[in-house]
Amino acid sequence: MGIVYEQRNLTVDGAMTVLEGARRKASEMGVAVCLAVTDQSGTLLAFARMDGAPRLSIQLAQDKAYTVTAFGLPTSAWYPMLEKVPSLLHGIVKADRLMVFPGGVPVTLDGVPVGAVGVSGGTVEEDDEIATAGAAALVAA
């Protein structure tokens, strides 16, 4: 790859687009969640805690987005891998910021990952649906 490469990354405007797309979805569903959007390096770009969302979710949402960028996978992909490798299942979950349940989703543009969105506060299915709606909002922008 030579000594440098070009990485495409979300701007704050892009991040706000994702955040608002996810927040709209959460409002429609009637679920109060925390929403975090990071760039491709896992750095926080935008965050919102909806009224009544769990305070513990402030960190969980950020860690979900971080985990996505750290491995390039949605957080929902982790458990199906882990349950086949018991040593990993028992041994890796404690890793700092690693989130192995749904609610963290890559944000892509033209198929290229540019960041991630993490959602926490609803059921894991709700969190994942809201995060997915956030990622979709960027493509539609």
Q: Minimum CB separation from a second copy for residue 70, in Å?
A: 4
Exactly one of 1, 30, 111, 140 binds a second copy (CB under 8 A); which one? 1
| Window 2-31: residues binding a second copy (CB under 8 A) | 2-17
Contact set for a second copy, span 75-134 (CB under 8 A): 78-79, 82-83, 85-102, 109, 114, 124
Of 29 and 109, nearer to a second copy (C-beta) is 109
Confirm if 130 and 65 have CB atoms less than 8 A apart: no
Across the strands, what pairs with 117?
37, 105
Beta strands 44-49; 34-39: pairing state:
antiparallel
69-72 long-range contacts, CB within 8 A, separation 24+: 69/38, 69/39, 69/40, 69/41, 69/42, 69/106, 69/113, 69/115, 69/116, 70/42, 70/97, 70/98, 72/106, 72/113
Q: Smallest gap, in angstroms, from Cβ of residue 106 to a second copy?
A: 13
- Options 24, 29, 42, 136; binder of a second copy; rule CB under 8 A: 42
What mask, x for binding a second copy by CB under 8 A, covers residues 45 to 64? Answer: xxxxxxx--xxx-xxx----
Angstrom distance (rounded) from CA 68 to CA 104: 6
Interface residues with a second copy (CB under 8 A) are 1-17, 39, 41-51, 54-56, 58-60, 67, 69-72, 78-79, 82-83, 85-102, 109, 114, 124, 138, 141
